[in-house]
Amino acid sequence: GAVVSQHPSWVICKSGTSVKIECRSLDFQATTMFWYRQFPKQSLMLMATSNEGSKATYEQGVEKDKFLINHASLTLSTLTVTSAHPEDSSFYICSANGLSATGEQYFGPGTRLTVT
């Protein structure tokens, strides 16, 4: 089946710095990718929809200037957490819809961000 990868798998950064997380579709092209955030013991929360060649669409309550999304190619979307703070520490997961007509979605393995 289709594979989505993320890099890095985990990252520790200092408060006030920025961190970039990459999401790649390895064997298919994804015009749309999705970014989720997950806090411990909670469900996934959709942050934004990443659109190749155009601006991302953010969910209500998500700061677009803090979570910068770039989808420069059909296989790569990046999420940059700017001026990170400890409350941004979370598990970030990306996904993309596969080629099946019924819309199976493929998820990356996640990136654990810890802001100290």
Partner 1 sequence: DAKTTQPNSMESNEEEPVHLPCNHSTISGTDYIHWYRQLPSQGPEYVIHGLTSNVNNRMASLAIAEDRKSSTLILHRATLRDAAVYYCILRLFLYSSASKIIFGSGTRLSIRP
- Per CB under 8 A, residues contacting partner 1 are 4, 6, 30-32, 34, 36, 43-46, 49, 51, 91, 93, 95, 97, 100-110, 112
**In the complex, minimum distance from the CB of residue 16 to partner 1, in angstroms, rounded to a whole number:** 27
The residue among 2 and 82 lying less far from partner 1, judged by its C-beta, is 2
d(CA 93, CA 35): 6
Bridge-based pairing state of the strands 90-97 and 32-38: antiparallel
The residue among 31 and 82 lying less far from partner 1, judged by its C-beta, is 31
Taking residue 102's Cβ as centre, other Cβ atoms within 10 Å add up to: 5
**In the complex, minimum distance from the CB of residue 48 to partner 1, in angstroms, rounded to a whole number:** 10
**In the complex, minimum distance from the CB of residue 30 to partner 1, in angstroms, rounded to a whole number:** 7
The residue among 12 and 17 lying less far from partner 1, judged by its C-beta, is 12
d(CA 48, CA 54): 13
Record the tokens describing residue 71, joined without a space.
């989808």
Query: Would you call 4 exposed, middle or buried from its count of C-beta atoms within 10 A (0-12, 13-18, 19+)?
Result: buried
**In the complex, minimum distance from the CB of residue 58 to partner 1, in angstroms, rounded to a whole number:** 12
